[in-house]
């Protein structure tokens, strides 16, 4: 299971002599998705060689109000928060305040999930590196097959509903559930980045939102990125859910939207973005703009300044999991906070080997191809089309056409 589960192969092989992104082709991919009502609105930014070569706000931020999408629109970020919080961990590593091979219990002494019963049920040792690579044995509530799954029974929040929990309480509940496999022996997308958020708090002695501002978003001047938004700002895009054969419907109140076959679906509460008291979910609970996120990607693509030394960025972008990775995205492994393409042929992708990629359940995708000095951010307000639907593949192919 992965956030890449519906990305289709390109319609043809990549050109041998790539001339760089062609804005007309990119716009055509955006226009096609809007015309077919697969998307309501989007902001797409393409950087090549260290400068923005294409930028577009398209469609509607709020369809019912007739409000056009604007380039500085804010979006609920879901898993787009993962590379932000993972970068915060790497900054702390660069400062010598933690090591990636630290056990989680060094920083969170009470976080002691046990091995599965099939492995004896003993206490497991999880390292920060295993959390970053999703090889810890943790899972997600939304992957469970029924509302009676272990995470559901423990009352765990995936970070997109407004549970009323504190971060400490949610971590306590996560730790009550046995792991799905011994750490380091498999791969499963998981609540690991929420646990990393707790680690960042412990290392910094400060709330996660404050620590992330100090370590990442402040130095990069990502002033629109935080764990909540103001209702008075008016820039937060309205979220929509794709329907089968119908126009996307506006998301109102608590919404459960199936994302993967034979699973219960993700529990969304759009109002969570306005609740400054909601716990800071490192894996799924931020708000931000496409421009801000491009700042992060371009910093990392360019070697990490002013956040990280180049060696740590290289470590983030290396495939740490070998053949392990999203089981429905062949050719992708995982680095320290995002997927890494290790076999373009298996993935049937025009992207270069080593390309970084991930997305977010509220309708976002992004990738960084360091070989071609390319960063692409596509934030939409339509799930799941903007995360893993046809638009993601169409945009990718248009960029490389």
Peptide bond into 206 cis (omega under 30): no
Closest by CA to 165, choosing from 78, 266, 271, 279, is 279
Q: Is the dihedral of CA 289, 291, 292, 297 positive or negative?
A: positive
Q: Are 344 and 352 in contact (CB under 8 A)?
A: yes
Instruction: Establish whether 79 is a catalytic residue.
Output: yes
d(CA 248, CA 37): 7
H/E stretch holding 152 reads helix 150-154
3-class state of residue 295 by DSSP: helix
Q: Using CA atoms, how far apart are residues 20 and 48, in angstroms rounded to an integer? A: 7
Strands of 255-371 (E only): list them: 255-257, 266-268, 287-288, 332-334, 339-341, 356-360, 364-369
**Closest C-alpha to 154, from 171, 166, 167:** 171
The closest alpha carbon to 336, from 352, 358, 351, belongs to 358
* CA pair distance 77, 217, nearest whole angstrom: 14
Q: What SS3 state is found at 358? A: strand
Q: Residue 330 and residue 344: Cα distance in Å, rounded?
A: 9
**113: which 2 tokens?**
């999930």
- Which entry of 61, 79, 349, 388 is annotated as an active-site residue? 79
Q: Which two tokens stand for residue 265?
A: 């679906």
Asked if residue 90 lies in contact with residue 309, where contact means CB atoms within 8 angstroms, the answer is: no
Pair of tokens at residue 185: 């022996």
Using alpha carbons, list the distances in angstroms from residue 273 to 9, 28, 205, 228, 277: 34, 32, 24, 5, 10
- Max distance between CA atoms of the chain, in angstroms, equals 58
Provide the annotated active-site residues: 79
């Amino acid at each position: 299971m992965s956030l890449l589960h519906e990305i289709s192969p390109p319609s043809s092989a990549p050109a041998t002599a790539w001339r760089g992104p062609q804005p007309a082709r990119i716009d055509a991919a955006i226009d096609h998705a809007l015309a077919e009502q697969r998307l309501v609105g989007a902001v797409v930014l393409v950087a090549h060689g260290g400068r923005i070569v294409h930028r577009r706000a398209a469609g509607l931020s709020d369809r019912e109000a007739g409000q056009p999408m604007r380039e500085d629109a804010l979006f609920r970020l879901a898993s787009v928060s993962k590379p932000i919080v993972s970068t915060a961990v790497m900054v702390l590593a660069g400062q010598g305040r933690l090591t990636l091979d630290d056990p989680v219990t060094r920083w969170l002494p009470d976080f002691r999930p046990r091995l599965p019963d099939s492995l004896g049920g003993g206490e497991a040792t999880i390292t920060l590196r295993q959390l970053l690579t999703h090889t810890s044995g943790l899972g997600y509530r939304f992957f469970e097959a029924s509302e009676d799954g272990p995470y559901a029974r423990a009352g765990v929040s995936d970070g997109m509903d407004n549970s009323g929990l504190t971060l400490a309480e949610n971590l306590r509940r996560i730790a009550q559930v046995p792991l799905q496999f011994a750490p380091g022996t498999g791969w499963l997308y998981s609540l690991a980045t929420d646990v990393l958020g707790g680690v960042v708090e412990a290392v910094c002695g400060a709330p996660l939102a404050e620590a992330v501002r100090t370590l990442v978003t402040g130095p990069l001047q990502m002033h629109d990125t935080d764990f909540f938004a103001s209702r008075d700002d008016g820039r937060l895009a309205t979220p929509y859910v794709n329907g089968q054969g119908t126009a996307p419907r506006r998301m109102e109140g608590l919404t459960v939207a199936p994302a993967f076959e034979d699973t219960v679906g993700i529990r969304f509460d759009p109002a969570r973005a306005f609740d400054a008291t909601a716990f800071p979910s490192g894996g799924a609970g931020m708000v931000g703009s496409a421009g801000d996120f491009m700042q992060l990607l371009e910093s990392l693509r360019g070697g990490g300044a002013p956040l990280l030394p180049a060696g740590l960025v290289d470590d983030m972008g290396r495939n740490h999991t070998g053949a392990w990775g999203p089981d429905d995205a062949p050719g992708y492994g995982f680095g320290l906070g995002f997927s890494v393409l290790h076999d373009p042929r298996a993935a049937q992708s025009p992207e270069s080997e080593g390309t970084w990629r991930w997305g977010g359940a509220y309708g976002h995708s992004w990738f960084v191809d360091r070989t071609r000095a390319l960063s692409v951010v596509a934030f939409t307000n339509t799930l799941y089309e903007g995360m893993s639907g046809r638009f993601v593949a169409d945009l990718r192919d248009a960029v490389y056409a």
